[in-house]
A and B are shown apart, each in its own frame.
Chain A
Amino acid sequence: DADVTQTPRNRITKTGKRIMLECSQTKGHDRMYWYRQDPGLGLRLIYYSFDVKDINKGEISDGYSVSRQAQAKFSLSLESAIPNQTALYFCATSALDSPGDEQFFGPGTRLTVL
């Protein structure tokens, strides 16, 4: 079984809809992250959490919110989706004492906002 799982893997929605992307991990890592990947722009950090009680904004948090329900679960919400949020979304984890903060990525969620 995969260590970092994301659901759904693909989603098509309409402008204005509320969307939740979910991430679960079995690696036992405290740190979890949400990134989006766009062609030509690379990976950009949306939110990150170093433990269950810690939530921090990343580079591009506007229009997004997150919830850390447990050590193993971190969800990303788009309260009112817009077309420029069409992207590939990745959840990642890392261990507290990892050199360079090695990131372990999930398989990604491809989101299309029409």
Chain B
Amino acid sequence: QKEVEQDPGPLSVPEGAIVSLNCTYSNSAFQYFMWYRQYSRKGPELLMYTYSSGNKEDGRFTAQVDKSSKYISLFIRDSQPSDSATYLCAMSGSGGSYIPTFGRGTSLIVHP
């Protein structure tokens, strides 16, 4: 079993839908929980990160972390065709030498 599990999709939704993307993990040492977005033929870019448990909101995006369940989510409200991309979760421990562990990524398609 991989340390970070993520359903690869694809997930297809109509424009305006609320999207929920999720990852589970097994390593209790993870403290930073991140979401990267990757457009086709581009490198991933950091979208949001959360430290420890709780929620974080940035515009239409909300990241949630439930450390007791080892489960993280990214919600996208009022989804737009421009949100179509692959979303990768990533997690790391605290301290200077922790390299993020990435999920496989979920492909999201928002159709007009």
Contacts and interface: CB of A to CB of B under 8 A. Distances in A.
Given A43-B88, A96-B96, A100-B49, A105 B102 contact: no
Query: How big is the A interface, by class?
Result: 20 to 34
B41 to A, nearest CB: 7
Interface in B5-45: 6, 8, 32-34, 36, 41-45
Range, interface on chain B: 20 to 34
Interface of A: 4, 33, 40-43, 45, 48, 50, 90, 92, 96-97, 99-103, 105-108
A25 to B, nearest CB: 12
Q: Main SS of chain A's interface residues? A: mixed
Contacts of A103: 36, 44, 46, 90, 100
Contacts of A90: 43-44
Given A103-B44, A107-B42, A41 B104 contact: yes
Given A40-B104, A99-B51, A105 B43 contact: yes
- Looking at B33, B44, B45, B105, which has the most chain A CB atoms within 10 Å of its CB? B44
